Amino acid sequence: MSANFRIIETFDGYYLKVTGKVDLNLLSQELKRHNLDVDISKIMREVVNARAGQEILLQAKPEESGGKIIITVAPGKMSALLTLNIRPGEKVALDEVFQKLKEKQVVHGVNLERIKTLVNLKRPAFREIIATGNPPEPGLDASIDYVYQPPELDPVRVEDGFAYEPGHIIQVREGDVVARKTPATLGVFGCNVLGEIVHPLPGRNLEFKVGHSVTVQGNTALAGRDGAVKWEESVLHITDLNIIEDDLQTGAIAAGGMVLVLGNVGPGTHIQARDDVEIRGTLEGGTVISANGSVFVKGGITGGSQVKAPGNVEAPFIEESTVAAGRNLVIDDYIFDSSLSVGRAVYFKTVKEYRPANRQKKSTDPDRKQALEEATADVPAPARMKQISRAMKALEREIKTFISQFTNLSGREESRQELREQMARYSKRVNSLHHLRQERQNLINKTGGRGLGLPGLLANVGVEFHTRYEEFLLERPVTNATAFYNHLRNKVVFIGKEADL
């Protein structure tokens, strides 16, 4: 096959299929390779003026002759055909057919039973298949299984909501496997009816998409040193990881890679990193800046902290702080009296619902599930169901009261501290309510709803807990922003002096 044309062999001849502007020099080379004696000057005008898809006869094959028994080898040599030019009732000797096969060098895949049947019918036959080759089986392409996947910074839409896995730093040790390759296969060789070996098309090889500090050993990619996983345009690298084992109360840290603080970060501290920063505790009054990555604060941002990152900033809550996220701001609970600048969107952890397990993006936290089972192991399911129902009703009354109080407290300077405390308590109540709902659904799934009263009869069996995020755009930076998720109305509410969205 060459650019813009293809030479095709058929039973009656060789054709040129034009797919574009034909290079006559390349065509001349291909004709020689196919041992075709064609004068290009005689077909040049037809080739130059041909439309895409048009077929031009290059050389006709001589008509098959040979009397009453004709053996034809099909183009590609993967089948042989028998033609019997006889009168009805005329006998044909089986040995004569075998002699013709020998003359045509057909030695593989001959169907003796089919030949006997055609001969015994004593009637004409036209190009009946009497031998077939074994076509080659193409090789399988290589595949690579990466142990870690690039982070998805935008929550993924699922129907009318968003699912999301909160971000974190992935720590690796030297020698840890980061990717494995299943190599391409050569395929299975074939054989045509002339007994010639036909080579398969080998599978396509793939190269690891890995870079700095990743070592490739055969079909395995390993971390070349201790550090953290980082992606640059889908290429996996191992970057520096600075780990602070305890709380960081004072001082400044400047890191060329990522920073992981296992404790809290206190007032007056300053962290500046080239890549991601993760704080497992609370950030209170400190400054955190990422030059190229994201910032994940697991315990919340409070106390006049300043956070800036070109990627995401993620935290359960933000209180009286300044946050600038170049991409998204992802919040679990609430925002109180803070200055915000967001490049793309704000995502609030909102609706927690139940869906069939096979549509679940991520499974229930196994530690939480185990804790729920241990806490209720000694309580009969019907009794626990009643306890859950009573507790849920009490929490729903409290949540309704909190929401009404927010309206009264917002905008009053003397009530700022009270509003902040109320929002923190509100978030805890809402989370407790969802945990109870999850426990109730686990009981229903476990018992099939039997013996649990009306809630067990009405609820669906075999569904799991599912969390969604709600997106809303922050069109310009705002100050004094306070926001929370109104559990009763299923929407995010912004209040404050300059919360104009």
pLDDT at residue 413 in the model: 66
- Provide CB contacts within 8 A for 63, sequence distance 6+: none
The pLDDT confidence band at residue 66, using thresholds 50, 70 and 90, is low
pLDDT at residue 362 in the model: 44
Task: Reply yes or no on whether the pLDDT at 473 is more than 90.
Answer: no
Question: pLDDT tens, 383-426?
Answer: 888 888 889 889 888 888 888 777 666 666 667 788 888 888 88
More confident residue, 170 or 61: 170
Task: Quote the tokens at residue 266.
Answer: 């206190």
Cα–Cα distance measured from residue 472 to residue 346, given in angstroms and rounded to the nearest whole number: 6
Cα–Cα distance measured from residue 201 to residue 57, given in angstroms and rounded to the nearest whole number: 29
pLDDT at residue 454 in the model: 65
Q: How far is CA 439 from CA 319, 352, 385, 434, 446, in A?
A: 31, 13, 9, 9, 10
Question: Across the strands, what pairs with 254?
Answer: 272
The reported pTM is: 0.72
Mean pLDDT for 334-350 is: 92
- Provide CB contacts within 8 A for 414, sequence distance 6+: none
Query: Is residue 313 a contact partner of residue 338, using CB atoms and an 8 Å limit?
Result: no
Tell me what the pLDDT averaged over the chain comes to: 87
Task: Quote the tokens at residue 224.
Answer: 């070349």
Question: pLDDT tens, 18-49?
Answer: 988 888 888 888 888 878 888 888 888 888 88
Query: Is residue 14 a contact partner of residue 31, using CB atoms and an 8 Å limit?
Result: no
CA torsion 245-249-254-255 (nearest 10°) is: 20
- The DSSP code for 93 is -
Mean pLDDT for 93-121 is: 95
Query: Is residue 137 a contact partner of residue 278, using CB atoms and an 8 Å limit?
Result: no
Phi-psi group of 338: left, alpha or beta (phi > 0 → left; psi -120 to 50 → alpha; rest → beta): beta
The pLDDT confidence band at residue 275, using thresholds 50, 70 and 90, is very high
Amino acid at the residue 124:
P
DSSP H or E stretch at residue 431 = helix 416-447
β-pairing, 328-342 vs 306-309, is unpaired
Question: pLDDT tens, 198-246?
Answer: 999 999 999 999 999 999 999 999 999 999 999 998 999 999 999 999 9
pLDDT at residue 453 in the model: 67
Residue 250: Cβ within 10 Å count? 10
End-to-end CA distance of the chain: 60
Cα–Cα distance measured from residue 300 to residue 233, given in angstroms and rounded to the nearest whole number: 30
